[in-house]
């Protein structure tokens, strides 16, 4: 199977959908490839309360659905599939996917990130049986239970607060004393009597039996003491990693694999653009992703115009 | 003929529809609050049609049916359990691409 479009967008999160909206409205033939469903990482957030225009919190999933509907209204074609390889040709790209090869003149990579693993014993064994990377999805299954959240960024703090809706106790385990998360979230966690902060501490091991997870072994980095917190769930928010395996090694990335672009979202590969969380940037938010997406789409429009006029 | 759609099962109907099903049954343990559950929902609708008569596609709301969720140790949703002759013979935890799910189903149907 082969099909052509002016631009192919990898990923239907906020960045990809916004790029699709702008490029479709500019009259390009746009195809957007999504391996799961619209919304990206944001779709896993229970409550989005910092995206302007939504004065009442909206679920990330609902926001993603609305972005998809809006882009489709202007003709964006969203197809299901994941990218195996992005082959650079002299005059465009062959995007090899699980559903066939798509040819496109330009490509916008908006493939986002995925959570990184903690890398401790028990993590793989109890994945889906107590170890979770999505409090929104799994939190309500831990009603009246004790759980742990690991991490110190916005996600960890937000999800710890979310979990107190269901859980009797939430241990927030962080390896430093200071949190990277924004102040309002840290203050909320400190004020929440269901949250116990376990700072300057690291998880060494996740323990349990056939029946499921029973606790996390935590080491206090200051005293060196080790104790086991009795929890039936542990939610890991220790970092993210970009989804860039399909990119050719010729496209410049930083040391963590994030794609390097200029202000016009151009990568080091001609005709290849990047937008959203997958890009090297200082703030990964829905609001910054949609900005990237709009800029990338208009850069593609200019790129195609310039090429035609030559 | 109307298209075959996933069947919503409950604690009352689980035994008859799933455990005593004459064909293997895949049960999607899901909940309305869960984003990834919404992601697999359209995939299951396609599978219900494509595997009509070969596998029964069921959905179980873990909120309304907590004892079944507990019985099968559901700690992450979506959890997709494939039953044959009353026992779990294969499972997928988390939202996965359609190809992955189809492979798991074919493993059961081919066996």
CATH number at residue A24: 3.50.50.60
The shortest CB-CB distance from A136 to any of B33, B39, B95 is to B33
Query: Which helix (H) or strand (E) segment is B93 a member of?
Result: strand B87-93
CATH of the domain at B103: 3.40.30.10
Higher pLDDT, A38 or A293: A293
Provide the pLDDT for residue A254. Answer: 95
Same-domain check for residues A135 and A107: no
Comparing CB atoms, the residue among B42, B62, B99 nearest residue A141 is B62
Q: For chain B, what is the domain count?
A: 1
Q: Are residues A138 and A169 in contact, defined by beta-carbon separation less than 8 angstroms?
A: no
- Do A175 and A272 have their domain in common? no
* Set B31, B34, B41, B102: catalytic member: B34
| CA pair distance B17, A215, nearest whole angstrom | 36
* Domain stops at, among A208, A236, A264: A236
Do A161 and A13 belong together in one domain? no
Residues A22 and A98 in one domain: yes
Which listed residue (A6, A32, A138, A167) is catalytic? A138
Active-site option among A32, A62, A77, A137: A137
A57 and A32 in a common domain: yes
Cα distance between residue B74 and residue B88, in whole Å: 13
State mean pLDDT over B14-40: 91
Phi-psi bin for B33: left (phi > 0), alpha (psi -120 to 50), beta?
alpha
Per-residue pLDDT band at B2 (split at 50, 70, 90): low
CB A45 within 8 A of CB A158: yes
- A128/B36 touch (CB, cutoff 8 Å), yes or no: no
Residue B2 lies in a domain: no
Residues of B in contact with A43 (CB under 8 A): 35-36, 39
For A93-134, the pLDDT digits (tens) are 999 998 889 999 999 999 999 999 999 999 999 988 899 988
Distance of CA A192 to the CA centre of its chain: 27
| Edge-first strand listing for the sheet containing B87-93 | B7-9, B56-61, B25-30, B79-84, B87-93
Which residues are paired to A92 by β-bridges?
A89
A281 bridge partner residues: none
Residue B34 appears among annotated catalytic residues: yes
pLDDT of residue A3: 55
On the question of pLDDT at A242 being above 70, the answer is yes
Q: Are B75 and A141 a contacting pair at CB < 8 A?
A: yes
Distance CA A247, CA A225 (A): 44
pLDDT at A78 over 60: yes
CB contact under 8 A, B33 and A233: no
Q: Are the beta carbons of A127 and B93 separated by less than 8 Å?
A: yes
Alpha-carbon distance of B108 to B97, in angstroms, equals 18
What confidence tens digit (pLDDT) does each residue in A192-203 have? 999 999 999 999
Give the strand pairing for B25-30 and B56-61. Answer: parallel
CA-to-CA distance for A93 and A108, rounded, in angstroms? 11
- Give the pLDDT confidence score for residue B3 in this predicted structure: 67
Residue A29's nearest CA partner among A306, A300, A309, A307 is A300
Confidence class of residue A174 from pLDDT cuts 50, 70 and 90?
very high
Identify the pLDDT of residue A281: 95
Structural domain span for residue B54: 7-110
Q: Is the pLDDT of residue A87 over 60?
A: yes
Predicted confidence at residue A247, as pLDDT, reads: 94
The bridge status of strand B79-84 relative to strand B87-93 is: antiparallel
What does pTM read for this prediction?
A: 0.80
Given this model, what pLDDT does residue B1 score? 46
Is the pLDDT score of B90 beyond 70? Answer: yes
User: Is A91 found in the same domain as A25?
Assistant: yes
CA distance A289 to A275: 7
> A63 with A202, same domain?
no
CB contact under 8 Å between A128 and B94, yes or no, is yes
Residues A106 and A252 in one domain: yes
Share of chain A above pLDDT 90, in %: 81
Sheet of strand A212-220: strand arrangement: A201-209, A212-220, A226-229
The CA-CA-CA angle for residues A13, B101, B8, to 5°, reads 90
Tally of domains in chain A = 2
Q: Which candidate in B28, B75, B77 is best for mutational testing of the A interface (most A CBs within 10 A)?
A: B75
Q: 3-state DSSP call for residue A24?
A: helix
Residues of A in contact with B94 (CB under 8 A): 128
* A137 shares a domain with A231: yes
pLDDT at A2: 45
Same domain, A227 and A84: no
Whether B1 is in a domain gets the answer no
> Does residue B15 fall inside a structural domain?
yes
**Is A132 in contact with B36 (Cβ distance < 8 A)?**
no
Q: How many CB atoms lie within 10 A of CB B8?
A: 13
Residue bearing the bigger pLDDT, A219 or A45: A219
B58 is catalytic: no
For the stretch A136-151, pLDDT in tens is 888 888 999 999 999 9
The parent domain of residue A219 ranges over 117-236
Q: Which of B33, B36, B95 is nearest residue A140 as measured by Cβ atoms?
A: B33
Of A202, A219, A236, which marks where a domain is finished? A236
């Amino acid at each position: 199977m082969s099909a052509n479009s002016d631009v192919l967008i990898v990923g239907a999160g906020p960045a990809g959908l916004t790029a699709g909206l702008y490029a479709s409205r500019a009259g390009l033939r746009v195809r957007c490839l999504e391996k799961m469903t619209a919304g990206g990482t944001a779709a896993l957030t229970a409550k989005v309360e910092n995206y302007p225009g939504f004065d009442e919190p909206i679920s990330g999933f609902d926001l993603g659905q609305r972005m998809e509907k809006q882009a489709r209204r202007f003709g964006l074609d969203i197809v299901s599939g994941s990218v195996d390889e992005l082959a650079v040709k002299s005059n465009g790209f062959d995007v090899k996917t699980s559903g066939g090869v798509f040819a496109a003149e330009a490509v916008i990579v908006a493939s986002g990130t995925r959570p990184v693993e903690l890398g401790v014993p028990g993590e793989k064994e109890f994945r889906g049986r107590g170890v979770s990377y999505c409090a929104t999805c799994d939190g309500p299954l831990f009603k009246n239970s004790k759980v742990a959240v690991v991490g110190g960024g916005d996600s960890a703090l937000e999800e710890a607060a979310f979990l107190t809706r269901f859980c009797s106790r939430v241990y927030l385990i962080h390896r430093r004393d200071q949190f990277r998360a924004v102040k309002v979230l840290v203050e909320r966690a400190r004020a929440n009597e269901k949250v116990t902060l376990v700072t300057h501490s690291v998880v060494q091991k996740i323990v349990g039996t056939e029946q499921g997870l029973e606790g996390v072994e935590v080491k206090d980095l200051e005293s060196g003491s080790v104790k086991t917190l009795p929890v039936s769930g542990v939610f890991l928010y220790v970092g993210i990693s970009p989804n860039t395996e399909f990119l050719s090694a010729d496209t410049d990335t930083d040391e963590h694999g994030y794609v390097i672009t200029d202000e016009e979202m151009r990568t080091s590969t001609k005709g290849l653009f990047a937008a959203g969380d997958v890009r090297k940037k200082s703030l990964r938010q829905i609001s910054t992703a949609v900005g990237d997406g709009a800029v990338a789409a208009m850069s593609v429009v200019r790129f195609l115009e310039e090429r035609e006029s030559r | 003929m109307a298209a075959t759609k996933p069947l919503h099962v409950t604690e009352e109907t689980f035994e008859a529809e799933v455990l005593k099903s004459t064909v293997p049954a895949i049960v999607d343990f899901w909940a309305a609050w869960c984003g990834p559950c919404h992601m697999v929902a359209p995939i299951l609708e396609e599978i219900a049609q494509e595997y009509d008569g070969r596998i029964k596609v069921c959905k179980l709301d873990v909120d309304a049916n907590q004892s079944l969720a507990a019985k099968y140790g559901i700690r992450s949703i979506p959890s997709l359990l494939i039953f044959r002759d009353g026992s779990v013979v294969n499972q997928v935890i988390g939202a996965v691409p359609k190809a992955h799910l189809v492979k798991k189903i074919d493993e059961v149907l081919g066996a």
